[in-house]
Amino acid sequence: MKKFNLQLISLVFLFLLSCQNELEEKDNKEFQNEEVNNFQRAAAPCRELYALVLPASGTGSPILPNIESFIFKVELNTIPIGYNFVSQIKIAGTPVTCVTGLSDMIGIPDYAWAVTGQNSNFPKKLLKVNISSGQATIEANTTDYLQDIENLDASGNNLVGIKEGTSQLMKVDIPSGICTLFGPNGPTEQYNGLTSMGGKLYAISGLTDYICPSKRGDIFEYELTGGDYINKYSYKSTNATYTMKELGFYYDNCYGKKWLIGSSQAIITNNINIKPCILPYPTFLLNTTTTHQNFHGIFDFMTK
């Protein structure tokens, strides 16, 4: 009987040892896989960030007539952040005025979508723009004047934009240019910028303090499928020049800047947390007038 008990104990011990080895092997594989995933994430290059820039500072929406339109590259990994001319948007050599939105043309290297406002010399147009050269062609007439456009999904066939001078979001079909309602009017008089993050769309009303009294930059979250806003946040700016009038709005998940704003008053700032009415407040990053180039109204951001 004692011999039998010893054999049973030995078998149980061997079984437990085998289970432990299997668990350790599984844990090691999971750890190695996680290490590989972390390495791949770290090794993956950050997408290039571009800005739609107008030479006039402080202009609102609709943009005043005769203001030409440019593309700049923004480098978030330098101190101060980089801000450099890339191209001027033109159609057959003619400068395009009052371009109001810029967004990635998904899957097509070096190309972007752009839209024009009511005071443009090519009004109410969806443009196909070569980023490096600035040369553009007309893809379609849009059925509404738009500003600040974003891709809604990875298909590249649907954009969302702000109806110029309002808080009405519009879905834009590519290539027809037909605009349809994305949802009801927003709760503020005018939206100034759009960005997407984590499968949601965010619209900002730069100069209002509806959400956090005396702190500017009301932000509203939407489902990508449309409808009314589902959550509200605040950029919490105590300085009006940080959120002045039309805004480039962008979420940076690569360099840790998080919520980024480029204002028409030449200022680029960021905030790492937009939870209403609590610290931190926005951080100053760059006054673009220090680049000694007369291109300071930052109206939209896009990544490529």
pLDDT for 57 equals 65
pLDDT for 155 equals 85
The answer to whether 263 and 250 are in contact (CB under 8 A) is no
Locate the DSSP E strands across 99-242. Answer: 99-104, 111-116, 125-130, 136-141, 146-151, 158-163, 169-173, 179-181, 193-197, 200-205, 216-223, 231-237
Q: In what order do the strands lie in the sheet with 111-116?
A: 99-104, 111-116, 125-130, 136-141
At residue 120, the 3 state secondary structure works out as coil
Count other C-beta atoms under 10 Å from residue 299's C-beta.
30
pLDDT for 60 equals 78
At residue 19, the 3 state secondary structure works out as helix
Task: For residue 75, count CB atoms less than 10 angstroms from its CB and return exposed for 0-12, middle for 13-18, buried for 19 or more.
Answer: middle
pLDDT for 95 equals 98
pLDDT for 61 equals 85
pLDDT for 245 equals 87
275-303 pLDDT, tens per residue? 999 999 999 999 988 876 667 789 999 99
d(CA 248, CA 260): 8
pLDDT < 70 stretches in the chain: 1-43, 57-58, 292-294
At residue 182, the 3 state secondary structure works out as coil
